[in-house]
Amino acid sequence: MNKNILLRIAKVAFLLFLMIGTALIIRNNRNKVQQSQTEWTTNEGKVFGTTYHITYHSTQDMHDSILVALAQVDSSLSMFNPESQVAKINSNETDVMNPQLKHLLAQSLEISQKTDGAFDVTVAPLVNAWGFGFKNAESVSQAQIDSIMQFVGYDKVHINGNKLEKEDPRTMLDFSAIAKGYGVDQAAAVLERNGITDYMVEIGGEMRLSGKNREMKDWSIGVQNPHKDGTHTENNLQMIVSVSNCGIATSGNYNRYYIKDGQKISHTIDPSTGRPVTHNLLSATVRAKDCATADALATSFMVMGKEKAMQFLKAHKEYSAILIYAKEDGTLASAQFGEWIVK
């Protein structure tokens, strides 16, 4: 057999090898995608007065363990559960904090210092006075505000071992602006302890995202248009971002407010003045390492307003944010800090 024939046979054999190898790779990748899409579990329900949706890459259903973790958060931090640890602290039945409450209070005080008091877990009496807590909206006088401000302030509570020291027994702790994010982190911790690294945990709009989604891509998250009705349809979104391995939280003044004497009263109270904020920042979506921090900072930015929030983000590049605000003509604009991939 001459050399030309041998060379042709070798070329054909090599091409066949490439074709078979390519086919095997394609089939293997297809199988991986199909497997990735089928080996997922979704848990849904209600908690903390809102809904939760949890999706993770595992055939092992972790729902029972997640519910235990969320129940522990509720029994520690819920203002609406009279048997919770924080409720007993607020009623001065005890000054002893369990580990969860102590941890979250320490984290809250750290964020309060970092934000110069824009985040403050003692602000609940002011929120109540303005009608957003447990009471109906009433006429709020400056004298009332001054009276309440005597026992509001993060610097009026101190951690001493496992005990909480209050400078005034009327001071209350309210973790509403960070507890959902903390609950998200606790649910995510359950998944991670069981070796699950691809997941999305969402409670009331606050999220923790890790790894890849069903399509083996980063997670796509919608940022709501503040002028829309609150439903997360495509037409109601300001933008869609692609993220992973982070916590995401949004705070805004577009859904919770009331009108009194023709004035829009926001649910966000400035702890430094005791009054609702009146600036043009409509929403803040924050990305941080954990969801509790993102949750607290989103509230902080809504207290600060656009300019101060922008100054904070320029000084703290470890955080990312999308700030949506109203221009003078009423149209919306957004400012982005950090590396957001906008789709």
The per-residue pLDDT for range 131-183, each reduced to its tens digit, is 764 444 457 888 999 999 999 999 999 999 999 999 999 999 999 999 999 99
Instruction: State how far the alpha carbon of 178 is from the alpha carbons of 38, 77, 80, 164, 294, in Å.
Output: 34, 10, 15, 19, 8
Q: Is residue 92 part of a domain?
A: no
- What is the DSSP secondary structure assignment for residue 80, as one 8-state letter? S
Q: Which pLDDT score is estimated for 134?
A: 40
**Strand partners of residue 41:** 56
Q: Is residue 327 part of a domain?
A: yes
Q: Which residue ranges of the chain lie beneath pLDDT 70?
A: 1-38, 132-138, 227-236, 254-266
Q: Is residue 50 part of a domain?
A: no
Q: Is residue 303 part of a domain?
A: yes
Where does the chain have alpha helices with state H?
Answer: 3-38, 63-77, 85-90, 99-114, 124-129, 142-149, 179-193, 291-304, 306-315
Tokens 């001065």: give the residue.
Answer: 92
Q: Write out the residue range of the structural domain in which residue 313 sits.
A: 218-342
Cβ neighbours for 187, distance < 8 A, ≥ 6 positions apart: 52, 54, 66, 69, 70, 201, 203, 208
Q: Model's pTM, two decimal places?
A: 0.84
Q: Which pLDDT score is estimated for 22?
A: 55
Q: How many domains does the chain have?
A: 1
Phi, psi of 130 (to 5 degrees): -85, 0
Q: Which pLDDT score is estimated for 326?
A: 84
Q: Is residue 5 part of a domain?
A: no
Q: Amino acid identity, residue 129? A: A
Q: Is residue 244 part of a domain?
A: yes
Q: Which pLDDT score is estimated for 14?
A: 53
Q: Is residue 313 part of a domain?
A: yes
Q: Is residue 251 part of a domain?
A: yes
Q: Which pLDDT score is estimated for 253?
A: 74
- Give the CATH number, domain containing residue 244: 3.10.520.10
- C-alpha 185/C-alpha 290 separation (Å) is 7
pLDDT tens track for 182-222: 999 999 999 999 999 999 999 999 999 999 999 999 999 99
